[in-house]
Amino acid sequence: MATMVFVNFPVSDVQQSTEFYEKLGFKKNEDFSTEEASSMVWDDNFWIMLLNHEFYSKFIKDKKIADAHTTSGVLVSFSLESADAVKQFGETAKANGGDFYKVDMGMPEDQMFGLEVQDLDGNTLEPTWMQM
């Protein structure tokens, strides 16, 4: 059995974040979504759960939710099929209220290409392509 990865992001507006992730290519799984959370599916093994702050807080006990606009707690990297697909993902995020930037890894683009993409709440995704 393949391992499934579920990334949980705290979001200020579940509906608005759901629409943002749908524009990036994720599909909402209604079976695992409520008013408090949206289950966003990239493929059979990679899902992002968008949880409102009240619901997210239930899972972190007495900790505070970090403001991802000013504090980094995690970078979530995943592969895409080409450098162009990575660029399109970043452009789509930016066109819909998110943002992106490139970190120079010292590798040629025809070998590896990735971007740092922020969602509406500052959570960071790292779509990446590597020549294998």
1-61 adopts what CATH topology? 2,3-Dihydroxybiphenyl 1,2-Dioxygenase; domain 1 (3.10.180)
Q: What is the DSSP letter of 61?
A: T
**CATH homologous superfamily for the domain 73-132:** 2,3-Dihydroxybiphenyl 1,2-Dioxygenase, domain 1 (3.10.180.10)
**The pLDDT of residue 13:** 98
Percentage of residues in the chain with pLDDT exceeding 70? 99
b/e sequence 77-99, b meaning 16+ C-beta within 10 Å: ebebeebeebbebbebbeebebe
DSSP 73-100: --EEEEE-S-HHHHHHHHHHHHHTT-EE
Cα 99 from chain centre: 12
Mean pLDDT for the stretch of residues 96-119: 95
pTM to 2 decimals?
A: 0.91
Mean pLDDT over each residue of the chain, to the nearest integer: 96
